[in-house]
Amino acid sequence: MKLASLGCALMCAVAFHASARDNDPFGPKGPFKHVVVIYEENHSFDNLYGLWGAVEGEPVNGLPFAPSSKITQTRQDGTPYQCLLQLDVNLTSPPLPSSCTDAGPPSITSDFPNTAFKIDDFIAPTDTTCPLPTQFAANGVLKGQGLPGGCTRDLAHRYYNEQYQIDGGKQDHYVTGSDASGLSMGYYDTTQIPIYTFLHSANAPHYVIADNFYQGAFGGSFLNHQWLVAAAAPIFAGAPNDGSSQDLHSVVDANGMPTSTPLYTSPLGSAAKDAQLTASCNPPSGRPATPSNITCGDYAVNTIQPFVQPYAPGTPAYKRLPPLTGLTIGDKLSHAGIRWAWYSGGWSNADGDVGAPGWTNGATAANGCTDPNAISTAVWPNCPDDLFQFHHQAFNYFKSFAPGTLARKEHLRDEAEFIARAQAGTLLPVSFIKPIGEENEHPGYASQSNGDSHLIDLLNAILNGPDGKNTLVIVTYDEFGGQWDHASPPGNPGNHGPHDKWGPGTRVPAILISSKFTHSSVDHTEHDTTSIMATLEHIYGLAPIGKRDAEVPDLTSAADLGLYGGR
């Protein structure tokens, strides 16, 4: 059976719940035979889409709607700053003027008053501020000394830090809780980013922007990838809890912070510890007690390497997460007979899939890792790119996708194969796309504009391919990247949507695109990362994996707007 026919057969064979409408976009009569999820990196909604404006007369909840109380950032003691401390080498004074002085404490001299600011006014997309793939630049690269792309420095995006930054929905501790200080208040001119220009060009597809979409869990990329595929925080089985160097538990102070920052001083001093796991519920002798309101246990919440290849070369076993045994959306799709794949940029090289789509290295060990962009310490056949992000490969953490399994061979594939399928009209019913580091928009090591241009390339391959006419594309970002947003996440005053101790966290960009859409619109329905899983469960009649994906609204509301219009 041809793949396109198989997709239709699978869709039509699903038994949907009795309340499904005849015009349900994901129902038996719905137009979508393929769903593609493109998972980008590290931007909050206001940071990237805050100036979107309105869509067919419907306002997008962006920067113009941000109340001053949520823009104004406050010190550790709750008093407002007068100026923003800047640490990025292109935002400090010098080279910029010293137009703002704050007596403190601490004293601050900068060119930035305490408000949100447009990054483009200081660092343009063409500026040569991007590091070499092998270069670490803690505070960014000075203009003229790097590669083009308008990169900024990276910003902390950690599990406990983000909860402190949200500050009970006040959104006023992003600067204080960040290692990048004032950069967290930066935003891009939305109207100049490639995706906006693409969707507002002649003959562009219709789209629905979701302006109430939140990252599934607090913190960074590792944990949010886990919530994308499993709607759960993973447990580190047998985690040491002895205070030794192999004890990976965090140590958190009474304010919920595991570390000091340039503008935050932890009462614990050097005893604070921001590590891979949550704080211990019963810390060993010599470690401070964990506050009663702090999430604790053996949960992996910050970046940790998988136990099996590919992982960062040289990572010792005690710093690698033991294989997980929980269910993923991939397992659920497979059990239901639904064809799917996770396509990652650079996967064939990193996984050692010699000769597979995307492989660019030697055919034998004698040839070795011949790609000049391979990590210098890589050992053939595992030849990962310098910017391959191991912790983004969510399924590689699960035992069911271990090396040598049929599930791994069938479902963990290279982005090059996805592009070929899109062009040939052989898309699987469900595809997840994870761009390689150079193209994923992550601040610090990647360019927003270059990554967004790669996103356009992916969209063109999909929408202009034979399957483009019946494919729904969901584009979103894994997490906020340490950047401020004015919308209070669920679980805070005024927003009581589905939530738990893991999140949701800061609002992130999300947009649905399809050639089937007859309208462009704005969906104000509250969603989070698990809404993607809930949507797939809706499409294929699958039982929820966890509590959150059972409760959160799926993306039917957004698809309805694109297909039928109205609000």
Looking at residues 415-425, what average pLDDT do you find? 98
pTM: predicted TM-score of the whole model, two decimal places:
0.94
Which pLDDT score is estimated for 19? 36
- The residues that bridge with 2 in the sheet, in sequence order, are none
Mention every residue, 6+ apart, whose C-beta is less than 8 A from residue 289.
283
pLDDT tens per residue, range 435-474: 999 999 999 999 999 999 999 999 999 999 999 999 999 9
* Strand 34-40 versus strand 108-110 pairing type: unpaired
Instruction: Dump pLDDT digits (tens) for 312-334.
Output: 999 999 999 999 999 999 999 99
Please tell me the predicted confidence (pLDDT) of residue 23: 64
Q: How high is the mean pLDDT of the chain?
A: 94
User: Given this model, what pLDDT does residue 28 score?
Assistant: 65
* H or E element that contains 407: helix 406-411
pLDDT at 495 (0 to 100): 80
Length in residues, the chain: 567
Q: Rounded mean pLDDT of 30-51?
A: 96
Parse the chain into domains and list their residue ranges.
235-299
Which DSSP string do the residues of 90-157 spell out, in sequence order? TTSTTTS---EEE--SSPEEES-BSS-EEGGGTS-TTSS-BPPTT---TT---TTSSBSS--------
pLDDT for residue 564 is more than 90: no
Tokens 């002085």: give the residue: 101
Helix axes 448-463, 415-424, angle to 10 degrees: 40
Beta-strand pair 340-344/430-434 = parallel
Instruction: Note the pLDDT of residue 567.
Output: 53
Question: Tens digit of pLDDT for each residue in 478-529?
Answer: 999 999 999 999 999 888 889 999 999 999 999 999 999 999 999 999 999 9
CB atoms within 10 A of CB 101: 12
Determine how many CB atoms are found less than 10 A away from the CB of residue 138. Answer: 12
Q: In this model, does residue 337 exceed pLDDT 80? A: yes
pLDDT at 20: 42
Structure tokens at 396: 């590689």
pLDDT attached to residue 22: 53
The 8-class DSSP code of residue 512 comes to E
Confidence of residue 278 (pLDDT cuts 50, 70, 90): very high
Contact 304, 290 (CB under 8 A): no
Confidence grade of residue 30 (pLDDT, cut at 50, 70, 90): confident
Confidence band (pLDDT; 50, 70, 90) for 92? very high
pLDDT (0 to 100) of residue 517: 96
For residues 367-371, give the mean pLDDT.
93
Task: Indicate the pLDDT class of residue 12, thresholds 50, 70 and 90.
Answer: very low
- How far lies 326's CA from each of 45, 146, 288, 332, 433, in Å? 31, 43, 32, 11, 22
